[in-house]
Amino acid sequence: MSKLPIITLPDPLLRQASKPIETIDADVKRLASDMFETMYVAPGIGLAAVQVGVPRQMLVLDVADDDETPRPITMINPQIIESSNEMRTHEEGCLSIPDFKLDIDRPDWVRVTYLDLDGKLQELRTGGLLATAIQHEIDHLRGKLIIDFLSRLKRDIVIRRFKKQSRDAMS
């Protein structure tokens, strides 16, 4: 396993829709393992492959608390097939937008299908933090970021701040 660099705003790759994974091979399994290491070190509870520069439909999640046994989940080509009408507000952060948090309303529960690392079709119905994390990471696979929940004016302010930080880091 190795820690991968996480790309951050304003990298245009974050806005690119990820392509499905056709074959689950050793490279895909190694990427999942590296993504878990990267996510745990960051620290975070979810990470999409595009966030480490691989625009493929894979994400890793683990919403277990620090004092709990880890509960890692790898989702390949995930699809939300049903979601609740009831909404839940949760403060979300993003490893690709460091030090920025935002309250976001999302469906309280989702039903999602995905392939696991053995290529088996799985279905999961879940709520709470895991549902929020799944929706957040699937947004990444579509090129959508948490700042897209802001008004255009506020979003532009955040983007300008990150562009300036990026320029300052290069000089």
Q: How far apart, in Å, are the Cα atoms of 168 and each of 106, 159, 161?
A: 35, 14, 11
Annotated active-site residue 123? The verdict is: no
**Tokens linked to 1:** 């396993």
- Rg (alpha carbons) of the chain, rounded to whole number: 16
3-state secondary structure the chain: CCCCCCCCCCCHHHHCCCECCCCCCHHHHHHHHHHHHHHHHCCCCEEEHHHHCCCECEEEECCCCCCCCCCCEEEEEEEEEEECCCEEEEEEEECCEEEEEEEEEEECEEEEEEECCCCCEEEEEEEHHHHHHHHHHHHHHCCCCHHHHCCHHHHHHHHHHHHHHHHHHHC
Could you list the active site residues?
137
